[in-house]
Structure 1
Amino acid sequence: MHPRVGRRELLAMISSMMAFTALAIDLMLPAFDDIRVSFDLGTGSSETARIVTVFFLGMAIGQLFFGPLADRFGRKRTLYVSVAVYTFGAVVAALVPSFGMMLVSRFVWGVGAAGARVVAVAIVRDRFEGVVMAKAMSQIMAVFVIVPIAAPLLGAAIITVAPWRATFWACGLFALVVSVWSLRLRETLEPANRRELRPRLIASGYWEVARTPVTFGYTVATIFIQAVFTSYIASVELIVAEVYDRDAQFPYIFGGVALFFGAAALINGRVVENLGINTVVRRALVTLMPLLALLAFITAVSDGRPNFWLFMPLLGLTFAMFMFLMPNLNSAAMEPVGHIAGSASALTGSVRIAGGALLGGLFAEAVDNTVTPLVIGAVAMTSIAIVCILSVWRRQGIEFVPRPIPVVDPA
């Protein structure tokens, strides 16, 4: 890396690249009511969830293109192209007169965010491996999670002094600042690892990723975990406003739940290097299953409207467990395909985000005046993810409950 860029600055820079996505979503969540009014969507309309899902779909498609570009032209050039697309999408979204045109511009915006994400993950894979990579990813996620805590508060502050469209302009400005900052970073793609930009070669790289059992299995698992995250992000504003009638408190509630994410990411970064990925994932699953069962129980007995002070902390704890799964499963999925990190990151990320957006969007748009659709989706999608993880472990000969090491009697 560039001699002026140390590990901490590098991780902070990568976190900022990853934050393109969170900022483009979380900053504007407090503006959903104003958006409904501006485009005559109706009070409490769940159509605003599409603003999130089409952005994720744009990210999914964009990664398929930016991955090969990152492997051919390098990480930095690809980042600058993605920033240009990202900023263009944000500016157009801030100017369009109709909701349909906004969705189109949000898709383009998501395409730009995809490039930044591909570059961020590829840089991590260029510089780190194995549990060290998992630790780095957790540290990145810990910094990255500051955005969901701060962005809604910042968004709420912006719309008190400016039109809601100003939140879109702010995202474009942030992207430009990060691109200038990245000038300090040396290109991390070694010349020997550059791949030609030929359709057949790109397809062979994607095929290699798809037929790698560990990469394939863990990626499928993360599709369903991503679906849970998407359904939550797309519906939480409506849940807070319509189910709990606390719309004025939304930025604080959203940020409070995000604190659980950040704490879990920090803890994961500290323990994964000592315990290993499989042990951390195993313990997270053991904790996650009863939390989901309890979440489903309190939802069922309250007809979908559980006590706020019980539901939200429990939801935060449940989602915190995902922070012990997502970065570790991503790292484990990338490990066998490090020599094509850009393409691997692109394909796995694209499949995960597209699948998560489509599945999560279904549950998010089903939310009306209860949390039942969100909870049903979380339980169902997580259960499928667990099955996928266990299938990979079975293929590798890893047991969910490790056998005790026999004690040899010295006598």
Structure 2
Amino acid sequence: MTGVVTSPVTNGRARLEPGSRGFILTLAACMAVTALAIDSALPAFGEIRTAFGLADDATSVTGIITFFFIGSSLGLLPAGVLADRFGRRAVMWGGLGLYVFGAVLSIFAPSLWVLFLARFIWGLGSAGPRVAAMAMVRDSYEGEQMAKQMSMIMAVFILVPTFAPALAAGILVIGPWQAIFWVCAVVAILVAGSVSLLPETLAPDQRRPLAVRDVGNGLRTIFTTPGTLGYLVSLTALFGVFLSYLASSEIILDQVFGLEEWFPLFFGGIAIIMGGAMFLNGRIVERLGLEKIVRTGFMANLGSGVVLLTVALATGGEPPFWLFFVLLAAVLFFQQMLIPNLNAAAMRPLGAVAGTAAALLGMIPGVLGAVVGSMIDRQFDGTITPISIGFVISSSVAFAAWRWASSAEQAVVTTPATVD
């Protein structure tokens, strides 16, 4: 069966039913507040250094991003467990409330370390709406429809980095760095208001208790479901090299190509291409099928990565910028077509623990992917060769893990037919 699953819970105030444009935009906004909090903070580093008496080249200010990311990653699992117990909307509201609290605390932080603590809390809050949104998609859709809706949500989400730094830079022209955080808080409040128009997609009789044994049983269900580990490895490999791209793209543009002043345009252009990939995936996945899209996406992703590596080796790691841009865009285009489909495939058999599953599928690839990404970053040698190697290795590992996951699922499907 594929398509929209009728919501098990009705709500007189709900207006944004599954399948509507408003439903998708609201879920995308619930996820996009995370990117907004990260990307909008980058242009404020200089003013924050000044505010806390740091040197102009102090790197400690990057803790603003690090502590937010740690909080966001660690908050996913408890948010998922709570979403399976109290429902999706409650966790959205609770997370957005904590998000606003962390933002306001950041504004009035008297020291850098208090700011780091506030950003950690802010990150914890961002985990709630993110997990609940993914669980709501799993509640409402099945099969290719689920992959389509995840793609549409991620297409909106991935566009935030294209305008958040520019928005923040504009705010800094007319106000202090704290104004950026005020804007983030206001956006979260507006998103919380739109959540009231969503239906609750988790029926009361499907809610799981918070007893340690039941939570443990939920985790056991996830890790013993055939294919889940393979999907986690695949997503971790893809996330790892993607996070390396995020961390090293600015230094590559500066030290390899001498185009540091063009970084915002470069970063935004790549983000638009990635968003286009997810939008295209949402348009074609129903027509072609989830498995065919994933198989074709892996072949194209690995093939473009091999071409990028070949060019890097042939040019001493310093190819013409236009060629690097085209090949990098191709690699990331196909990578972003893979991620929502792998998420959807992993979530298919986990409807009974969708909140916890969505949390783990975000937390494990995020945390371990950050480790993998940092390992790739440390190999930077002034050329594009290390990250090109990273793309090829990660694509190969991700493809092998997907094949392992698919084989494990297929074995379960075919086993009953072999029993007399």
Question: TM-score normalised to the size of structure 1?
Answer: 0.88
2:147, 2:101 → 1: CA distance? 33
Greater mean alpha carbon deviation, residues 146-155 or residues 338-347: 146-155
Quick check: 1:17 aligned with 2:30? yes
Q: Give the match's secondary structure for 1:323.
A: helix
8 Å Cα contact 2:46/2:56 also seen in 1: no
> 1-side partners of 2:378 and 2:184: how far apart?
25
| Map of 1:323 onto structure 2 | 336
Change (3 A) 1:223 1:99: farther
Superimposed CA distance per residue, residues 170-199 of structure 1 (whole angstroms, 9 cap, x where no aligned partner): 222211110011111222211111111111
Deviation, structure 1 residue 368: 7.1
Instruction: State the partner residue of 2:206.
Output: 193
- Name structure 2 gaps, 5 residues minimum: 1-6, 412-420
1:246 paired residue number: 259
Instruction: State the Cα distance separating 1:79 from its structure 2 match.
Output: 1.1
Alpha-carbon contact 1:258-1:316 (below 8 Å) kept: no
**Residue among 224, 236, 248 paired with 1:211:** 224
User: What is the root-mean-square deviation of aligned Cα atoms in Å?
Assistant: 2.5
The one of 1, 12, 15 equivalent to 1:4 is 15
Is contact 1:27-1:152 (8 Å) kept? yes
- For residues 185-222 of structure 1, what are the alpha-carbon distances to aligned partners after superposition, in whole Å with 9 as ceiling and x for unaligned? 22221111111111111111011101112222112210
Please tell me whether the aligned partners of residues 15 and 199 of structure 2 are also in contact (alpha carbons under 8 angstroms).
no
Does the 8 A contact of 1:136 with 1:269 survive in 2? yes
1:113 aligns with 2:142: no
1:75-97, Cα deviation, whole Å (9 max, x unpaired): 11111111122222233334446
Counterpart CA distance in 1 for 2:136 and 2:195 is: 12
Give the AA of the match of 1:90.
Answer: A
Amino acid at match of 1:322: Q
Match of 2:355 in 1: 342
Question: Corresponding residue for 1:395?
Answer: 408
Residue 98 of structure 1 and its aligned partner are, at CA, apart by 5.2
Whole-angstrom CA distance in 1 between matches of 2:27 and 2:284: 21
* Aligned 8 A contact 1:153 1:252 in 2: no
- What is the identity, as a one-letter code, of the residue corresponding to 1:163? P
Report matched runs for 1:357-396 at 5 Å. 357-364=370-377, 367=380, 369-396=382-409
Query: Partner residue of 2:269?
Result: 256
- 1:237 offset after TM fit, Å? 3.2
How many percent of aligned residue pairs carry the same amino acid?
40
Q: Does 1:142 align with 2:155?
A: yes
In structure 2, the partner of 1:403 is none
Change in CA separation of 1:208 and 1:289 when aligned onto 2, cut-off 3 Å: same
Q: Aligned match of 1:58 in 71, 74, 85? A: 71
Deviates more, 1:307-316 or 1:163-172: 163-172
Q: Please list the CA deviations of residues 245-292 of structure 1 after superposition, one character each: whole Å capped at 9, or x if unmatched.
A: 434333221110011111111111111111111100111111111211
Q: State the TM-score, normalizing by the size of structure 2.
A: 0.86
Match of 1:306 in 2: 319
My pick for the range that moved more, 375-384 or 249-258, is 375-384
1:69 aligns with 2:90: no
Alignment of 1:72-87 (within 5 A): 72-87=85-100
Task: Write the distance in 2 (CA, Å) between the matches of 1:101 and 1:304.
Answer: 42
In structure 1, list runs of 5 or more residues that go unmatched: 399-411
Give the total of aligned pairs: 397
Residues 69/397 of structure 1: CA separation in 2 closer, same or farther (3 Å cut): closer
Q: 1:212-245 CA distances to partner (integer Å, 9 max, x unpaired)? A: 1222211221011111222222233333344444
Q: Distance in 2 between matches of 1:357 and 1:212?
A: 25
Counterpart contact for 1:63–1:346, Cα < 8 Å: yes
